[in-house]
Structure 1
Amino acid sequence: MSQLQDNFGRRFHYLRMSVTDVCNFKCTYCLPDGYRPDGKPKFLDLNEIENLVGAFAEVGTQKIRITGGEPTLRKDFSDIIRIVADNDKISTIATTTNGYRLAKHAQEWYDAGLRRINVSVDSLDPRMFYQITGENKFDDVMRGVDAALEAGFERVKINAVLLKGLNDKDLPRFLHWIKQTPIDLRFIELMETGLGRDYFKAHHLAGADIKSQLIQDGWQLDQSAVDDGPAQNFSHGDFQGRIGLIMPYEKNFCANCNRLRVSAKGKLHLCLFTEHGVDLRDLLQSHSQRTELIERLHGQLQAKKETHYLHDGVTGVTQHLASIGG
């Protein structure tokens, strides 16, 4: 099968696969009022996930990130990992988690086949962590990070959304942490969604300002791998850890887009922001539907736009990032 490619020559090696939109944190930039179910949602089951992974693997997907909501809230999370790991065409298996269950299950997930893990830690100040997340779980999450390092994950990353007036003073603490700790810090520029215009205006901090400071302080931009996400990664000879910046408002951010998203209910999203998604679930019921599913994927890629238009103030239809896996 030919590799997924859009009309702008971009090839797609990376799938962000949401398995639930449920989350048990109440982060101010994402779910400030907590998770509010719309009826009784029925998320993709293991058979549907297996058929989805199989189809994407046949059209060039090399990396799958299991996302949410909070993906580890699914009781069959380890089974989902094993489904992805059993496909020998997938070379990288990752997840993003709030770390709530990490201390207890890091080794189990590693043994199931998970190799890379991103943990959301928006502040190293426990009080600010609580203010941003709505949960007094800082110590639990940090124990989870330690457990992930001990389990042997090939890459442990820390995600922090940059928030002016909240955690923007934390950079020295983060730098002190990675001086002797081999983790990647990922600073994510706040993005405006349908529910967050006022919040965005109050707390947006340009990632380009952080980039300029890093370069001034001697950090060097690393070369990107084919299955990397959108972060620009920086290294410094005096630090064991790295810093990555995700800057969606930077010019040409979308030029090297290599990732697609499928929601927990089986909708394909060509972009995080701009459209309602295309249902794939009717073609996830049987292996015999794979050819038709792949044809639908190829057809939909022709509708992918050149950019997300965030820099023009267009936020699309996405109300909050938890709904399709961030």
Structure 2
Amino acid sequence: MTADKYGRPIVNFRISLTQECDLECFYCHREGQEHSHSNDLMTPDEIIKIVKIGTEFGIKKVKLTGGEPLTRKDLSEIVQRLSSLSQIDEISLVTNARQLSLDRAVELRLSGLNRINVNLPSVNKDTYKKIVGKDIEPALAGINSAMEAKINPVKINMVLLKGLNSDDVKPMMHFAEDIGGILQIIELEPLKKAEEFYKQYHYPLDDLEKDFSAKASNVTVRKSMQNRRVYTLGNLKVEIVKPVENSDFCMHCTKLRLTSHGKLKPCLMNQETIDVITPIRRGEPPEVVQGLFRKAISHRKPYYTSIGIPAVE
């Protein structure tokens, strides 16, 4: 397993399959990519070649994102081929679930999909529509499809937005508990957004986390996922994702990202990318791409840092 110069291993590979999406959520960070209408996406063959090389550096978990990954008709093929790699322990999907029919959910599970994260900013139909611009019913139907297909547990991603859904935490907790899911509450990041936007919608999670800590019957720490805390509240688990100005979060990051156009991205908050798709399309030997992985890993640096965090020589 390869670690960066801060001693952080590379375990998780977050792959954007497309920038296409059927929603226009105004807070979306687009996986740190500049928006592009290009259809020059990676093929399943190219994705597998890149992931295979990534496993040589310790990658064990793959998360498929977008845009909206369900817009790709070859999604099940990609999942199936990833699941055939012995080094990959887990394949998960981030989706808005609006295009997730029962048949497709079953197909994905049988192809090897282990988990699903559904972006759902609110269960209040008016709030949902205000945030994403469309009705909530297709999203709820997609969540039901995942449950019926036994892709369990469903994790609900809720980006907390001040003045929009910041009063919806309890209803979201009840919803997640009712479906036997996990609620993941995510702090809004200032990525590529104007300062005014961030000030208007950013909702600090500190008080919420203190409340959960006081009420939880158990608290665990996901050490391979940025030291995130998971609170057990009755029959529900609530995970807090609090990255802003959080050096501990960054110092326990084990992710490397791959953009939809085949570029490695060492950090979500940094615009640097390293092109790996071009040498693959030129038919260059694996050693070339291995070198680019090493470069990406060597360029990883905690975005939020505490004074005195040393690099490992």
TM superposition score normalised by structure 2: 0.89
Matched, 1:233 2:230: yes
* Aligned ranges 1:45-194 → 2 under 5 Å: 45-104=43-102, 105-136=104-135, 138-194=136-192
The total of aligned residue pairs comes to: 303
| Equivalent in 228, 241, 247 of residue 242 of structure 2 | 247
CA distance in 2, matches of 1:230, 1:87: 27
* Counterpart AA for 1:17: I
Q: CA deviation at 1:230?
A: 5.9
**Partner-residue secondary structure (3-state), 1:93:** strand
| Equivalent in 192, 200, 211 of residue 202 of structure 1 | 200
Give the superposed CA RMSD. Answer: 2.4
* Counterpart AA for 2:303: H
CA distance in 2, matches of 1:30, 1:218: 30
**Partner-residue secondary structure (3-state), 1:284:** helix
Deviations 1:260-280 (A, max 9, x none): 101000111110011321111
**Partner-residue secondary structure (3-state), 1:40:** coil
CA distance in 1, matches of 2:207, 2:185: 12
Q: Where does residue 323 of structure 1 map in the other structure?
A: none
* Counterpart AA for 2:232: S
Q: Residue 230 and residue 52 in structure 1: after superposition, are their counterparts in 2 closer, same or farther (change >3 A)?
A: farther
Q: Residue 185 and residue 191 in structure 1: after superposition, are their counterparts in 2 closer, same or farther (change >3 A)?
A: same
Q: Where does residue 310 of structure 2 map in the other structure?
A: none
Matched, 1:224 2:235: no
* Counterpart AA for 1:262: L
Deviations 1:238-297 (A, max 9, x none): 21x310111012342111110110100011111001132111112333887223212221
Deviations 1:46-88 (A, max 9, x none): 2211101111122211100011111110111111111211111
Deviations 1:291-320 (A, max 9, x none): 321222123322221x21499xxxxxxxxx
TM superposition score normalised by structure 1: 0.86
Q: Where does residue 322 of structure 1 map in the other structure?
A: none
Q: CA deviation at 1:216?
A: 2.1
* Counterpart AA for 2:182: D
CA distance in 1, matches of 2:59, 2:247: 26
CA distance in 2, matches of 1:57, 1:253: 23
Q: Where does residue 281 of structure 1 map in the other structure?
A: 277
| Equivalent in 275, 297, 303 of residue 301 of structure 1 | 297
Q: Where does residue 266 of structure 2 map in the other structure?
A: 270
Task: Report percent identity of matched pairs.
Answer: 27
Give yes or no for contact 1:120–1:158 (8 Å, CA) kept in 2: yes
Give yes or no for contact 1:26–1:135 (8 Å, CA) kept in 2: no
**Partner-residue secondary structure (3-state), 1:102:** coil
Moved more, 150-159 or 70-79: 150-159
| Runs (5+) with no aligned partner, structure 2 | 307-313
CA distance in 2, matches of 1:256, 1:199: 28
Give yes or no for contact 2:146–2:152 (8 Å, CA) kept in 1: no
